[in-house]
Amino acid sequence: MEKTKRDLLGVQIDELKGEEVVVKVMEWVKDKGRAKTIATVYSEFLVEADNNKDFRKVLDKIDLRIVDGALVLGGLRYQEMNEKRARLVLNGLSVGWRGLRGKNGETVTGVWLFERLVEEAARQGWKVFLLGGFGDTSRRLKEKLEKDHPGLRIEYDAGGQSVGDIKKENQRVIKKINDFEPELLMVAYGPVRQEVWMVENRRKVKAKVMIGLGGTFDEVLGLIPRSPEWMDRSGLRWLWRVYKQPKRLKRIWKAVVVCPWRLYKEEVKKYGKKK
């Protein structure tokens, strides 16, 4: 089931299909050890890890780093093609064309994984804890999920910006989580911060699986309009984000320009400029 891990800009990537991730979570729910952790990796993650060695070390401690982005998926296919024949520019163009046609493989987005696992939790009787989000997002999402999945056992805490920084506040949140003892702990503190929090607290929380989800809560609530399915398949979700959230342009530049350029340079170092 599990493919060989591949390294992109110093980050080990686990390329699993969506249902394979769900099966892995189901296995972990039955374990008695510490909480397992999942990071949904997209291109900004790779650039941040390349810039920040401390963050890269955090990601090394994450149990599963899944592909949540067409550019990450393209990076994996690019490596594979270069291993067969290192035509760096031509292979890059080929991967880009395949990506536009949705032929590079399957991503596992945070939104898809969240909704699929909540559905499974309702079926299995698992408890779900929503942590983070902006303002009253986690409370509103709890109410929505209770309506969508009658009988779902769910709790929430907004956490606040001080969680992880102020010891007393962090202890309060961890106590609330531990009193509930969820199978699934959905963490939405935003990229980097949420992964750091999960790694630092994975032995303190009484949860089976922790998943870093960034802005997923907002998307599930409809606060951020979802991109059309064809744009997701074609790796053009970033273009939808530029249209809907132009203030994210700096982040999107990092994702769609800086990341591919660094992946290319990494391959140049591996195979040599002449190739």
98 and 145 share one domain: no
164 and 250 in a common domain: no
Residues 123 and 99 in one domain: no
* Best CA proximity match to 99, nearest among 79, 77, 84, 82: 77
| pTM recorded for the entire structure | 0.91
What is the DSSP pairing of strand 64-67 with strand 11-13? unpaired
The answer to whether residues 175 and 195 belong to one domain is yes
CA dist 205 → 110, 138, 158, 167, 255 (Å): 22, 19, 16, 15, 32
pLDDT digits (tens, 9 = 90+) for 101-157: 889 999 999 999 999 999 999 999 999 999 998 888 999 999 999 999 999 999 999
CATH of the domain at 193: 3.40.50
Which of 201, 221, 241 delimits the end of a domain?
221
Please check whether residue 166 lies inside any domain of the structure.
Answer: yes
pLDDT at 203 over 90: yes
Distance (Å, whole) CA 241 – CA 222: 14
Is 1 inside a domain boundary? no
Query: Tokens in use for 68?
Result: 């949540």
Are 150 and 76 found together in one domain? no
Band of residue 47 on the pLDDT scale cut at 50, 70, 90: very high
**Residue 200: other Cβ atoms inside 10 A:** 13
Residues 231-251 as b/e (b if ≥16 CB within 10 A, e otherwise) read: bbbbbbbbeebbeeeeeeeeb
Non-local (6+) Cβ contacts of 163 within 8 A are: 132, 169, 170, 173, 189, 197
Answer yes or no: do 141 and 205 share one domain. Answer: yes
End-to-end Cα separation, the chain, in angstroms = 34
Query: Measured at the alpha carbon of residue 123, what is the angle toward residues 156 and 185, in degrees to the nearest 5?
Result: 30
Task: Residue 252: give the domain boundaries.
Answer: 70-106+231-271
> Is the domain of 95 the same as that of 116?
no
Q: Are 145 and 154 in contact (CB under 8 A)?
A: yes
Work out the burial of residue 37: count CB atoms within 10 Å of its CB; fewer than 13 is exposed, 13-18 middle, 19 or more buried. Answer: buried
Dihedral pair phi/psi, residue 137, rounded to 5°: -55, -45
- Which pLDDT band holds residue 4 (cuts at 50, 70, 90)? low
Average pLDDT, the chain: 90
Structurally, how many domains does the chain consist of? Answer: 2
pLDDT value for 12: 94
